[in-house]
Chain A
Amino acid sequence: MFLLVENIARFSVLVPVLFAFFVKSEKQTIQVLFYFLIFIIFHQIIYNSLYIRESKYTDIFNSLYTPIELLFTAFYVKPNLKSLGYKKFILISLVFYFICWVPLLFFSNPQDFLSYIRAFTYSLILIYCLLYFYEQMQYPQSLFIYNQRTFWGISGFLLFAAGTFFIFLFDQFSNNVKGFIQQYVYIHAILFTIRNLFFALSIVIKPEKSQFADISLSIT
C-alpha cells in the first residue's frame, strides 16, 4: 500500500505533462507549469540516483528543490496579479528569500536547513496564493473563476502548500518518531497526486467567455 501510493504519486506527474504536450499552448501559465513538471521529473530521477549511490550531495541537491519550486510558483502567480504592489512584494520576498537561503545552505545542518527552509518556502507560497485569491475577491473577472486555468493551478499550489506545511515543519524533529515517515509519505504522496491532477485540469480546461464579458466588475 505504502509503495503503491508513492508510485501513484510519482507517475501522476506524467498526467499534466502529457496534457501539456497535447494542448501546445503558448500561454505563459501553461508553459510555467510544464517546465515545473519537467523539473520535478528530472529532480526525482537525479535524486533517486544520488540516493541509491548514497552520495554526499544528496541533501544539498534536495535542498535545491524548494527554492526552485518557490521560483516557479512566483512566476506562475505574478503574471496573474493586477496590483503592482503585490507584484513588487513577490519580487522583494524572492530577493529576501535568496539572500537568507545562500548562507543557511552553507552554514547549517542540511537536515535542519531543509525543514526550516521548506516551512518558510511553503509559507511564502501560501501567501502568494492568498494574494491571488484576495485579488480575485477584490476585482472579480467577468469569467467564472473555475473557468480560468490559473484558478486550478493556484488551487493546486495552495492545497499542496497548506497540506504539507506541517509535515515539513516537523520533519527534522520526527525522524525517530514511530510511524512519522509513513505518515509523511502518505500525506505528501496524496497531496502531490492531487496537485498534479489540479495542474492537469488547469492545462486541459478551456476558458469560455461568458455572456457578460463586457461588464466591468467591481464591488469595491
Chain B
Amino acid sequence: MKKELKSSDPADSEIVLGILNDSKETLSRLYTSYFPMVLQLVLKNNGNEDDAKDVFQESVIVLYNKVKDGNFELNSKLKTFLYSVCRRLWLKRLNEQSKTIRNIQDFSEIIAVEDDLEKHEEKDRQFEMMELSLNQLGEPCKTIIEDYYIQNRSMQEICEKFGYTNADNAKTQKYKCLQRLKKLFFQT
C-alpha cells in the first residue's frame, strides 16, 4: 500500500440504497469516488487508462448485479469489494494477454471475490449472447423487442411508433420477433 487516496467516500449504505433505486446520482458518486483508485492500480501494473475504464465498469456491473439480486451483505467496505474485483479482473486480463507481472503493486486491502466473479462470468456470457442475438435479429424486430421487454412500453405505443394499423398486428409482429430471437439465442 503506497499511497492512500484522499477522497470523501460516500457512505456504503447510501450507495446500496441508491443502486436499488437506480439513482443516477449514486452511480456518478460511486464512479468519481472509486475510479481513481482503480486507475492507480491498473496504471501501476502495466495498464493504461482504457484498461482501467473497462475493468472498473465491469466491477460496477458486478456490484450492481450483486445488489439487485438481493444477496448483498455489507460485510466489507464497498471500496474493498470494488478494489478486489478490479484486481482480480485485471490480473486475469494480464494473464490472457500473456503478460506476467511479478509483483502486483497494491493500494488497498483485498477480500476474496472469486464466487462473485464466477457468477459474473456466467452473466457476462449471457449478456454477450443476448447482445449478439439482438444484433443478428435486425430492425425493426430489435427495437420492438427492446421497447416492449426492456423499456416496458405498452403495445399501443409500439403500434403507433411503427405505424401498425392495429395492436393485433403489432402483437403478431412482436411474437414473430421473439420467436426468432429465442431461436438465435439458444442456437449460439
- A and B, one complex? no
Chain B interface (Cβ < 8 Å from any Cβ of A): none
Chain A interface (Cβ < 8 Å from any Cβ of B): none
